[in-house]
Structure 1
Amino acid sequence: MIAYLLIAIIVVLCFAEVYLNQNKLARKLKKIPGPKDVFIVGNGLEIIVSPVELFKLGRKYANKWKGIYRIWAYPFGAVNIYNPEDIEIVVSTMKHSEKSPIYKLLKPWLRDGLLLSSGTKWQQRRKILTPTFHFNILRQFYVTLEENSRRLVEKLSTTLGEPVNVTPLFSEYTLNSICETAMGTQLSEEISKSAKSYKEAIYKLGNYLVERFVRIYLYSDFLFNFSTLGKKQKKALETIHRFTEKVIHDRKSNFDEQKLIYTDDDDDEHLYVHTKKKKTAMLDLLISAEREGLIDDLGIKEEVDTFMFEGHDTTAVGLSFFLMLLANNKGAQDKIVTELNDIFGDSKRPVSVEDLPKMKYLECCIKESLRLYPPVHFISRTLSETVVLSNYTVPAGSLCHIHIYDLHRREDLFKDALKFDPDRFLPENCIGRHPYAYIPFSAGPRNCIGQKFAIMEMKCVVATVLRNYTLLPVTRPSDIEIIADIVMRNNGPINVKFERRIKKNV
């Protein structure tokens, strides 16, 4: 009898907590339009669907409520925005820079790296890492990117006329590139085998994270760690961390030969400079910072895990969708080739870093592809204070989900928004566009630190591929079925056919 009484008391207390929370936060959020909720669970039951259906559900809500809507899934209340004016309020300053609790799901993987850290720690890490992406350092990386692009072209020569799933190819290309540039590690045959397991583990981990996201009861680390899903995630994380630790170990073993010295420039920004003229890898900066007492071994692991993932997976995804779009838009593909012919003429010389600024139309095409298929399609913050978004008062402590995918497909911002139209990004057509209407690399102080590297990498490999091959459509935009994941992924392969480009200058 006493046991039943205790259970009844616990249930009543839980209901009381829910009621109080709904009065404090949910009641305020309910003034914002959104789906009908159920007592206690709110909209929690609606999101327990497959990754494909979960992505579709977000688009259904975005089409029904223009620019802003709210959801409630105890104990979280969230406002979802895709108005540029609202997005500017949230991301343009450090005021709301703290990532939302949803990113807690990434903690076992990325721990407290640049993506997830906040406050002083984030500022210190950003200061250490910023020099890696200085233009002069990127120029040093370029030779490696170009060499890897030519290797990719050679690999494609064995697939001519056949449908090719380009995602694994680009994943290998971008992983090799980030390892050999930012990490300063050449992928030996032994490491290449581990790299395959690493990539497979990342794909699995993405699925596990989505499964956990839709099952709110698994947000508890205690319950999750004992679940089957938690055990699967642990195994995937062991594979991922083993690979990045190997990369760090190998670079540290050769580090003394690099002889970096730590200096301050006139702008009070820390820089690491080689005593000999050698490439400065991001990992070198981290190792030097460790020897200066600015970061510890765990901190290095955090940043390497973060940049190994962000530096290869997002770019591979962007390239996969881009080639699919070019294969399906012959006119745009031909215009890029004409531009390349103007740059290279009859020469067979490799693409140099000096050629990249001349590829203006190619850059427009890349930007348009990133508009339609932004690799990071969703970011989330915790609002540090009460704000007004779309004329609604949103209370402090609310989660704020920013849907980049829906922002980029707003008809009032991009006419005929579903059409692939690179001319949108010609300079004359960008005049008057809201600065937060297009944010494929996020925006504000916490924007993507590696965006220049990513664009340089995309230009290099696409230019090299198009100088050698014509792209023919297999997978079409109408075939694409996006799944909910930490990055934009298709529910299936993205296939393209390659044919030898018959030109005397190739």
Structure 2
Amino acid sequence: MLSKQKKLQAVAAAHKLPWVGHTLAFVKNPLGFLEKIQSRYHHEKVVKLSLVGREFHLVLTPEDVKHVLQENNRNYHKSEAYSVLAIFLGNGLLTSEGDFWRRQRKLAQPAFYKQRLALMVEMMGSETKGLLDKWVSEKENIPIDITKDILNLTLGIVTKALFSADVKHRLEGISEALNDIMHYADDILKSFVRFPLSFPTPANRRFKRAVQKVEGIIYDIIDARRQELKRNPKVRYDDLLDMLIHTKDEETGETMTDKQLRDEVTTIFMAGHETTANALSWALYLLAQHSEVVAKMRQELNAVLGKNGTPTFENIRELKYLLQVVQEVMRLYPPAWIMGRKALKSDLLSGYPIQANSFVLISIYLLHRHPDYWERPNDFDPDHFLPEPTKSRPTYAYIPFGGGPRMCIGNNFAWMEMQIVIAVLIQKYDFVLDNTEKVEPDPLVTLRPKKNLKIYLKPIDA
């Protein structure tokens, strides 16, 4: 009988093509490929894959994921894939490493304390009601582009959270620029041939224009705030930019440079805009197919908030079923669906040797649909998050915001935003899918619908 190490090597060798390994199958259908690997080797804990000329160890169990992300996290830095994002995001929390990351995380953390988030609840509700006002003017019996509307909504929320004032008029075209950046990063990650950014390919030129647009807007806003502080050093704002500008390193007393501010603001901006919009689009897609879930949510909302009430920071915790719904959406369609790590030193995962400088792949999408940890793993069922089944599952079977010290710093912001948006919208409308086009996930850097979702609005009082 083969040893465990040889067996795993044989598994990988038996199903890869010469030269290209598993790359073509992965690029053609990333989610389908990973699901097939999980199904075929569900008794294994680590499976070796060959992708874009490199070997990756796909980790399939929550216990090993916990080891990589938490127990031995200092041995696992982010993989080279994040260097592509760093071209745009700079050295922000998502892409930085080591002591610099720890310093930046410590500096940025106060901006996301719960008392700070409490100040944003009313703003989130107000922005969502603004979308309802827009929908009142929409023509009946014509499907709306829900993806576009939700992107604009999350854009409004994140800009208000970051910059207080409504600066959307300065952000024209920024969603399109972010979309170009995401597609560029995805294409680079899946490509065997990578032209230097200095090479004037159409893709490189489009990417540079997109980065310059986003960067110019962010720097202009930071500069305007700096100039205002020079004129009036005592002026303060209840926003994240104010917190980031004024926070100081406890040991050195240093504050963030403009470059550090740009990197952190850009990272927060992208995450608070793109990923939350994707999750909310998937939420409305699922709710449009599950009227029984919507009915149960409305019962809870009426009981806690009264008719057409808006969640507050004090009562949002009472909306337990609403939270289960959001958790279930993030289980089935986690925006951050995959992540990579590079081992700095050799290690063992379930007895399987991981060599220094080798790559580890963690698919959050697979963990969230693993049949060993979820009943009916592909079904939308908020009861997956009732207290009893939640207690019985390994903690790292569900990690929509990652895990360990590098868990997403904005996770509480995102949970709160999604609950408020859904609560406000479903009190006014039922959502009916436009079935003329098939809805499929598009696993780019984030997991989004392949085509913009089209949904009919049905006022519930009609």
TM-score w.r.t. structure 1 length? 0.82
Cα deviation for residue 47 of structure 1 reads 5.5
2:240 to 282, 306, 310: 282
Give runs of aligned pairs for residues 262-301 of structure 1, distance below 5 A: 279-289=237-247, 293-301=254-262
Match of 1:245 in 2: 219
Match of 1:354 in 2: 314
Give runs of aligned pairs for residues 452-463 of structure 1, distance below 5 A: 452-463=412-423
Cα deviation for residue 221 of structure 1 reads 3.2
Give runs of aligned pairs for residues 85-96 of structure 1, distance below 5 A: 85-93=63-71, 94-96=73-75
Match of 2:441 in 1: 482
Equivalent residues of 1:83, 1:407 under 8 A apart:
yes
Matched, 1:43 2:37: no
Cα deviation for residue 316 of structure 1 reads 0.5
Give runs of aligned pairs for residues 86-165 of structure 1, distance below 5 A: 86-93=64-71, 94-159=73-138, 160-165=140-145
Matched, 1:221 2:221: no
Deviations 1:90-124 (A, max 9, x none): 00143234100111111210011100001111011
Cα deviation for residue 151 of structure 1 reads 0.3
Cα deviation for residue 75 of structure 1 reads 5.1
Match of 1:447 in 2: 407
The change in CA–CA distance for 1:73 and 1:368 in structure 2 (over 3 A counts) is: closer
The change in CA–CA distance for 1:343 and 1:302 in structure 2 (over 3 A counts) is: same
Structure 2 CA distance for aligned equivalents of residues 45 and 329 of structure 1: 36
Cα deviation for residue 257 of structure 1 reads 7.8
Structure 1 CA distance for aligned equivalents of residues 202 and 30 of structure 2: 22
Matched, 1:328 2:306: no
Q: Match for 1:337: what amino acid?
A: R
Secondary structure, counterpart of 1:361 in structure 2: helix
1:178 to 143, 158, 167: 158
Cα deviation for residue 393 of structure 1 reads 1.6
Equivalent residues of 2:336, 2:445 under 8 A apart:
yes
Secondary structure, counterpart of 1:499 in structure 2: strand
Structure 2 CA distance for aligned equivalents of residues 44 and 332 of structure 1: 39
Equivalent residues of 1:34, 1:65 under 8 A apart:
no
Of residues 412-421 and 292-301 in structure 1, the stretch that sits farther from structure 2 once superposed is: 292-301
Structure 1 CA distance for aligned equivalents of residues 162 and 378 of structure 2: 35
Structure 1 CA distance for aligned equivalents of residues 360 and 221 of structure 2: 36
The change in CA–CA distance for 1:27 and 1:74 in structure 2 (over 3 A counts) is: farther
The change in CA–CA distance for 1:154 and 1:258 in structure 2 (over 3 A counts) is: farther
Structure 2 gaps of 5+ residues are: none
Match of 1:11 in 2: none
Structure 2 CA distance for aligned equivalents of residues 349 and 36 of structure 1: 56
Secondary structure, counterpart of 1:95 in structure 2: helix
Structure 2 CA distance for aligned equivalents of residues 382 and 168 of structure 1: 36
Q: Match for 2:454: what amino acid?
A: N
Deviations 1:162-204 (A, max 9, x none): 3222111111111111111123342253x1xxx2411101112
Structure 1 gaps of 5+ residues are: 1-25, 261-275
Equivalent residues of 2:310, 2:423 under 8 A apart:
no
Deviations 1:114-138 (A, max 9, x none): 0000111101110111111111111
Cα deviation for residue 490 of structure 1 reads 1.6
Structure 2 CA distance for aligned equivalents of residues 35 and 253 of structure 1: 63
Equivalent residues of 1:133, 1:450 under 8 A apart:
yes
Deviations 1:367-426 (A, max 9, x none): 001000001101111112222224422212111111000111111111111111101111
Of structures 1 and 2, the larger Rg is shown by: 1
Of residues 361-370 and 429-438 in structure 1, the stretch that sits farther from structure 2 once superposed is: 429-438
Match of 2:179 in 1: 203
Structure 1 CA distance for aligned equivalents of residues 121 and 237 of structure 2: 11
TM-score w.r.t. structure 2 length? 0.90
Q: Match for 2:412: what amino acid?
A: K
Structure 1 CA distance for aligned equivalents of residues 49 and 316 of structure 2: 44
Structure 2 CA distance for aligned equivalents of residues 384 and 343 of structure 1: 50
Matched, 1:308 2:269: yes
The change in CA–CA distance for 1:180 and 1:345 in structure 2 (over 3 A counts) is: closer
Q: Match for 1:483: what amino acid?
A: D
The change in CA–CA distance for 1:377 and 1:257 in structure 2 (over 3 A counts) is: farther
Structure 2 CA distance for aligned equivalents of residues 227 and 62 of structure 1: 37
The change in CA–CA distance for 1:295 and 1:345 in structure 2 (over 3 A counts) is: closer
Q: Match for 1:467: what amino acid?
A: Q
RMSD value over aligned CA atoms?
A: 2.7
Deviations 1:304-357 (A, max 9, x none): 1111101111101000000111110010000000111112334x5543222211
The change in CA–CA distance for 1:236 and 1:363 in structure 2 (over 3 A counts) is: same
